[in-house]
Structure 1
Amino acid sequence: MKRKWFLTVFFLLLITIVPVASATTPLKVFVNGHPIYGAPPIVRIIEGLPFVSIDAISSELKLNVEYDEEKKTVHISNKGEPQSEVVATLKKAKATLYATKREGNLEKFRLEMDGETRWFPYWRNSDTPAFGPRLFFEDINQEGKEELVIILTTGHGTGITITEAHVLQKTKINGQEFYEEMLIDNPEAIINKNVKTKKVSNDQVEITIGKKKTNAPFYKCLKHETIDFSVYKNKLVVYMSGQLTPSTVGGILITYQFKDNMYQARKIEYLKKRPDFIVESSFH
């Protein structure tokens, strides 16, 4: 249960305190030049540092303060600013993803998972519900422990879907385990390095991957209007395709493996049609 919690919460702030003549003289507090009064005194000195009651200054600072008694957390935000909300959940991972809606995007992500809280201020996702974040909890590196995979949609439109993946993997440091985000090799860089294309006729392109050559009527190198990450058959994958007229019917599937402390391409193949990825998570 959430309720306003002002009187007993104290928050360290940069404040102006007028020196006092004696220990019994109340400290005077100014916020943006305006004096703040309170009874009982609103300042406490703890280990030589001044702490001020949020109740006394929240109005002047235009703050909203909420206390979640069940989770033992305090949320402080600016009045009028968009508030974070649940954008995806995955029960089997005990994971809840929060974000703030702003100008058509989700931003300022916060992940609560298995008692841990992580913040990701630079993540972005469309705020269109159909393109909400997707969460997976699978052992994608085949090491016996599940990883949390978060797929974000950074762009979409007619015939266009651009996503990015984030993998949080349990890591042990100094005897303690926590989820650490791992590096993922850029899929466009992988294709530029390993896939060669050559136009062989007005409507045919020769695709070379390693020693294998395939003729296809669609593929246009360096024009990937579909970059779709997912978890497929317990592996992190990304499907990449172009957009022509008519729409493309095939693309490149990259299957990743965990090697040298990052996710790198294990297999690159041309598929005549997009695989049927399983969509997980719930959207709000």
Structure 2
Amino acid sequence: MKVKWFLSVFVALVITIVPVASAITPFKVFVNGQPVFGTPSIVQFIGGLPFVSIESISSELKLDVEYDMKNKTLHISNIAEPQSEVVATLKKAKATLYATKREGDLEKFRLEMDGGIRWFPYWRSTAAPAFGPRLFFEDINEDGKEELVIVLTTDHGTGIMITEAHVLQKTMTNIGEIFEEKLIDNPVAIINKNVKTKKVSNDQVEITIGKKKTNDTTHDYLKHEQIDFSVYKNELVVFISGHISPPTEGGILITYQFKDNMYQTKNIEYLKKRPDFFNSAE
């Protein structure tokens, strides 16, 4: 009986002493190899897993942490990294486009639209103000709802401007109606498939699209050094031509239509002059 009584008291003491000892010695935390201590310990175990507050290690991680109790939001930003800023807005769509500037480019795009947020980490665009993002909000697929079209300039220079378009349209999903990005057929691939050219003289080129033939004094317009997307009369369009110097006025205008869940060719035509409706975002 004495032995059983002694073992019971010993086990009880061990159970009592161990938590006390753990409370006295703070759990060590290392961030990037540097120790971080707190009193009491900044570590809490929840469900058997260790947790630390962001604020307790924010200085070591170079994070700026702000609480907004009124709007019930927590803002965390890396003060060592470039911060996102507004790069385009469109009141008509209640849309604001954010991006981070890095080495002359825009990256890490974020779209806040009509109360929702979408992230586009793989989009890229130049940060040059003259070639900033352009936004359009029109019903380009004839479904009775406006689509958001975002045109980004991916390359520019002497006689060169290359843009790409992103179309976001309302789509019903299992989580409700969201703005989903739809595929756009590559305009260069469309030209390679549907347009034929033949040099007929030193300064004359014959352009054949289907059964229609056009002669013009173009200069290497099929180098595709000008690829410019836009929206005109509720349609997604792109104009492809050559470089500015020597001047290239003529080019291919492609009009898109929404078919088979993507934007495909509706019409292709050769124009002897660049349309004047380009570069006019709403």
TM-score normalized by the length of structure 1 = 0.85
Shift in Å, 1:38 = 2.5
- Aligned pair in 2 of structure 1 residues 50, 147: CA closer, same or farther (>3 Å)? same
- Alignment check: 8 A CA contact 1:135 1:150 kept: yes
Q: Are positions 1:28 and 2:34 aligned together?
A: no
- The gaps in structure 2 that reach 5 residues or longer are 1-16
Cross-structure match for 2:264: 264
Cross-structure match for 1:137: 137
Task: Deviation per CA, 1:249-268: give whole Å up to 9, x if none.
Answer: 11110000000010001000
- Aligned pair in 2 of structure 1 residues 69, 147: CA closer, same or farther (>3 Å)? farther
Task: Deviation per CA, 1:54-111: give whole Å up to 9, x if none.
Answer: 2211112222224455664434333321111110111111111111111111111111
- Alignment check: 8 A CA contact 1:89 1:97 kept: yes
Q: Which amino acid aligns with 1:277?
A: F
Q: 1 CA distance for matches of 2:21 and 2:210? A: 82
Q: 2 CA distance for matches of 1:68 and 1:194? A: 56
- Aligned pair in 2 of structure 1 residues 233, 50: CA closer, same or farther (>3 Å)? same
- Alignment check: 8 A CA contact 2:221 2:243 kept: no
TM-score normalized by the length of structure 2 = 0.86
Aligned length: 262
Give the structure with higher Rg (CA): 2
- Aligned pair in 2 of structure 1 residues 95, 103: CA closer, same or farther (>3 Å)? same
Cross-structure match for 2:163: 163
Higher RCO, 1 vs 2 (CA within 8 Å, ≥6 residues apart): 1
Q: 1 CA distance for matches of 2:161 and 2:60? A: 45
Cross-structure match for 1:96: 96
Q: How does 1:60-71 map to 2 (within 5 A)?
A: 60-67=60-67
Cross-structure match for 2:182: 182
Q: Are positions 1:207 and 2:224 aligned together?
A: no
Task: Deviation per CA, 1:131-175: give whole Å up to 9, x if none.
Answer: 000011111101011111100001112221100000111110126
Q: How does 1:9-88 map to 2 (within 5 A)?
A: 21-22=18-19, 25-26=22-23, 28-32=27-31, 33-67=33-67, 72-88=72-88
Shift in Å, 1:46 = 3.4
Which deviates more from structure 2 when the two are superposed, residues 146-155 or residues 175-184?
Answer: 175-184
